[in-house]
Structure 1
Amino acid sequence: MAEEILDQYGRVTIYKEPSHPSPVYHVDGDVPANPYGNLAALLEDDGLEEVMYNGGAQCVKVAHREHGMCRTNVWVDDDQGIQIAQNIAAFTAVPLGDGPGLVPIFDGRLPDGSRVNGTIPPISPDGPTLTIRKFQEDPLTMINLIKWGTVNLRLAATMWIWIEGLDSRPANFVIAGGTGSGKTTTLNCLGMYIPWHKRLLTVEDTAELQVYHDHWLRMETRRERPDGTAEVDMNDCLKSSLRMRPDRIIVGEVRGSECATLLTAMNTGHDGCFGTVHANTAQETVS
C-alpha cells in the first residue's frame, strides 16, 4: 500500500504509513547552527502544539494541532540534546547539570513564551528529554472557542458580562479540568474580557499566559537552587501582588497554600480574580 499524504505546507509533509498508526511529520531542508539544534525546524511551525524529545534513541515526536501525535524525521543525539537543554535552561538562569550546584531537572521557557520541561541523566536514564509546549504566534480568542463549538454565543456573552462586571462588581472564576483540557487557553480567552483600564497581575509557576491587555504585570515563581538561592513560591508572589494595587489577579494554577490567599483576596474586595485547578469533576474542584 502507498503512503497517504495528509497535509503539505511550506517545508512540511505529513503522511500516513500503513504499517504504523501515527502519521509522519517530515520537514525538508537543513537547519543552520542555532541554540535549539535540529529542534529549531519544529519550533518554527505554528501548527504544532507540543515538541517532545525523548533522547537520542528515538525520533522527535510532535503533537500537531490538526493531525495529533506524529513521528518526525528529526533526530537529536544525546550530546546535542544535553547542549540544547542547557541552552534553554540558561534563558531562565537554571544551572542544568549533574553535579554540585547543578540541577538535573528544570521547568523553563523560551524567549517567545513557550513552556519547557527538561531532564538529563540520571533522572532520565535513557538520555536527556525536552517537552516544549508551543504557543501560537496569534493567541486564541473567544471567537475561536465559538467557532470550534466549545462555547455558544449566549455563554460567551454571559461570561463577558460576568468578567467585565458592568464596571461595578466582576465575578470570580475558577477553571477546572484535567491535564491538556484547555484550562490555560480558556483563561487566556477570558482574560481578554478584562477592561484595559484595569491593572492586571498574573502569578504562574512558568509564565505562559498570553493575555492581550494594556496594563499587565507578570510574576513567576523560582525554585530553591543548589547554591542556596531561596525559593519564591506561588503564595509569596500572590501575597506580594496584593500590595501592588491590582484590579484583577490571575493565578495560573492553584494547588497549595496560595488557594487560601486567593480566596482571602476574593473576600476582601479583590473581585474579578481567576485561577485554574487540576480536577476531573466539579465535585473534585471544591473538595
Structure 2
Amino acid sequence: MERFENDDLQYVVDDYYDVNDFNNDGAVVEPEPQRDAAGLESFDSDFEDDIESVMSKPKTDTSAEEARNGKDIQGIPWERLNFTRERYRQTRVREYKNYENLYGSREEMEKECLQVEKGKTFYDFQFNTRLVKSTIVHFQLRNLLWATSKHDVYLMENYSVMHWSSLLHKGEEVLNVAKPIVPNLKHPGLLSQQLSRVQISTMVVKENLMVAGGFQGELICKYLNQSGAAFCTKLTTDDNAITNAVDVYNNPSGAMRVMAANNDAKIRIFDAETFASINRYSVVCSF
C-alpha cells in the first residue's frame, strides 16, 4: 500500500467541528481537566520549553535494553532538563485536578470496587517509538487507536488511517480519507455514495474489517485485504450528525454486523458482507 506524505494537508478542524456541537441533544460533555493556574501551568511551561530545546535534535527509539539501563522509556533526557522526573511527577500528581463524574463519594466507590493486589508486573516494556504520530483532535473522541494483535496497531494520522507493525518497525497507509473515496460495492438498493475529505471521529478494526465514522455523519467500511473502500455513505444530514461510535460484532446466528451510533439519536445496523441496512433504532435520552 502506498504511503502518502500528507502533512501538508490543512487539518480543518474549524470547518468540521465546533466544541459546542458536543453540547447538544444528549451528547456527553466532559469539561477539560482543571489545573492550578498559579502552580502547574508555570511548571508545565518551563518543562515544555526545556523539552522542546533538547528534543529538537534527531529523535531515536527507546529499546527494552536501554530502559533496563536507565534510559527514560519516552526518551526524555531528564539529566539535561531543569526538573527531575520524580519532581515533575510529584508536582503533576499534587496539582493536576482530573475530571470526575461520580455519583457518590470516592470513599463509597472504593468500597464497591474490587481491590487488587499491587506490586506485580502486568506488562513488560518492549520499546517506544516516536516515528508514529497519532492525531486525536479532541479529548472526547474515542476508539481512534486499535491493537488487533501484540504487534499490529491501527491509528489516525491526520487524514490517514495507518497500520503500524512493531515487528517491522514500519507504518503503511490503510486509507486516505482526504482524497475522494469511491465505494467498490455497487448493487441495486445499496445506499452508498462517494465521499471526500472526511474527518474521522471514531473507528473500529475487527475481523479483517475497518469501519470509521465521520464528523458529518459519514460511515466508511474497508476490508483490510482489499484496496479501496467497500462501502461508504452519509448516514444522516442532521446539523449535529457526528458518528459517535461504530462496532463490528457477530449476532446470535454468527452473521457479522456493523453498528453505528450518531448524534441524531439513532443506532443503525448493517450486514457486514453486503452492507445492506438491516435495522434502525431510535434512542431517547433523558438526564
* Bin for the TM-score computed over the shorter chain: under 0.3
TM-score by length of 1: 0.26
Query: Of the two, which has the highest radius of gyration?
Result: 2
TM-score by length of 2: 0.26
Higher helix share: 1
